[in-house]
Structure 1
Amino acid sequence: MTHKTKGIVLRTIKYGETSVVVTIFTELFGVQTYMVNGVRTAKKSSAKANHFQPAAILDMIVYHNDLQSMQRIKEFKWDYLFDRVLSDVIKNSIALYMVELLQKCLPQPEQNTPLFYFCEDVLIQLDKANKSVTANFALYFSLQLTHFFGFKMNDDFNEQQNILDLQEGSFVKDQPAHPNFIDGELAMITSQLLKVMQPFELEDVKLHHDKRRLLLQHYQDYYALHIADFGKMKTLMILHEVLG
């Protein structure tokens, strides 16, 4: 049986001489794995292979069988054709970070349509973002994504509660006995970022790249505390380099 669904490409692995195995976060079925044959055979097919770059947003007709671990795609085309996300080094690095973070969080396979629409929207917003917004985009995504997995941070920062306990996800008055916390200016900046509801508001958050690096590391630690076997993110070091 075929179904029409949108999908965000998470990972693509070459298979044989002509095919690819693609992991896609779909609108209808959550994370799915697809075998796509014949997209790497000739020059006329190279354009087809380009559709399966990580972060690409596709419109697909797929075969789906709940009893199978690997599905097939009948038809595919661009749902949204990026202007810069797949070609600009900085924006592509941020998109790859977002895709890796998403993949580490997603249960497989579980439909989560609100999360899909959120991810679709933020990728499109990243494509359109100016330089100031782009610089803070990974921070915004890292904080917002937690809302969908049950461990969002509470923005209860004030003069007394000014230490962010990463184990609890809340601001506290006293330094925790464990080492997993953020204090000082970085805690205040996190509170400011938590108030950002739309990406364009990131333009008002002025950060030096060193503070951005530290925050991204702290946020990775936060995920590792709340998601079993989270591990280390491969894209984080690349992101540090391209953001200066």
Structure 2
Amino acid sequence: MKLKKTKGLVISFLKYRETSIIVRIFTRDLGLKSYIVNGVRSKGAKSKMAFYQPLTQLDMVVYDKEGASLNRISEVKLAKAYEKIPFDFQRSSIAMFMGEVLGKSIYDDYQNESFYDFLEYSLDQLDKESVILVHFPLVFLWECSKYLGFAPNDAASFFDELTDEAYHPGQLKEEIDYLNALIEESFACNQKVHAIHRKKLLDHFLMFYSRHLESPYEWKSVKVLRQLLG
């Protein structure tokens, strides 16, 4: 068993026994790992539950045993404190959605340093005053699909994958134009787009992800997200 230093992004946690948790953390150097943290839910715990909230960025020293399904954390500290995300309903709702996307998309030991760096960058953008929130979830879904290996070349190819829905090309013009703008401008996109087309494109993306991930599970955070896109 070795001690290793790495950055980590919390994906989710589960309560374990009376005072402990099992936390899934996407680490930059080791991939997606599960760690047991004993006693963190007890009074006077040395470690803080705040460290293990979804999308918290951590600096860690961890025990890493090859083949182990559960490891332990030796040292942990906050790598970045968000200024706006925890205190703004819209930003925290988007962060919740981002966490759900990651929870469905990456698997144990999945490791991709470039993807990790992109996620750090995305959260930095979300925490900025200047970010355009109504476009953010859709840009995030598009950009993630590139790292996950199933992004189409362009908007037309994206909708071609959904042809069994029998869409007429004329019905999709606004959504295609919108997606092309998101692809070209990424988080800097400032297009004026009607809420109907934002919501429709979100639905297309959720269908697109569910097919590629072969995930039958519902998207729990989408109800709040649709209100935001309105």
Same fold (TM over 0.5): yes
- Is residue 192 from structure 1 mapped to residue 178 from structure 2 by the alignment? no
Which amino acid is the alignment partner of residue 152 of structure 1? A
Contact 1:64 1:71 in 2 (8 A): yes
Hey, what's the Cα distance between the residues in 1 that align with 2:47 and 2:229? Answer: 30
TM-score by length of 1: 0.85
Residue 160 (structure 2) aligned to one of 158, 165, 168? 165
CA deviation after TM superposition for structure 1 residue 229, in Å: 2.6
Partner of 1:67: 67
Shift of the 180–216 alpha-carbon distance from structure 1 to 2, 3 Å rule, reads farther
CA deviation after TM superposition for structure 1 residue 129, in Å: 4.0
Structure 2 unmatched runs, 5+: none
Contact 2:174 2:197 in 1 (8 A): no
**Matched residue pairs, number?**
226
- Superposition pairs for residues 8-157 of structure 1, below 5 Å? 8-42=9-43, 44-45=44-45, 48-130=48-130, 133-155=132-154
Hey, what's the Cα distance between the residues in 2 that align with 1:190 and 1:135? Answer: 13
- Is residue 217 from structure 1 mapped to residue 203 from structure 2 by the alignment? yes
Contact 1:20 1:37 in 2 (8 A): yes
Which amino acid is the alignment partner of residue 59 of structure 1? D
CA deviation after TM superposition for structure 1 residue 156, in Å: 6.4
Q: Give the 3-state SS of the residue equivalent to 1:186 in structure 2.
A: helix
Which amino acid is the alignment partner of residue 189 of structure 1? Y
Q: Give the 3-state SS of the residue equivalent to 2:4 in structure 1.
A: strand
Hey, what's the Cα distance between the residues in 2 that align with 1:156 and 1:58? Answer: 36
Contact 1:21 1:33 in 2 (8 A): yes
Shift of the 97–156 alpha-carbon distance from structure 1 to 2, 3 Å rule, reads closer
Q: Give the 3-state SS of the residue equivalent to 1:241 in structure 2.
A: helix
Which amino acid is the alignment partner of residue 191 of structure 1? N
The Cα offsets for residues 145-165 of structure 1, whole Å up to 9 and x where unpaired, read as 1111221122265xxx9x931
TM-score by length of 2: 0.90
Contact 1:62 1:72 in 2 (8 A): yes
Give % identity: 32
Partner of 1:170: none
Which amino acid is the alignment partner of residue 37 of structure 2? V
Partner of 1:171: none
Structure 1 unmatched runs, 5+: 168-175
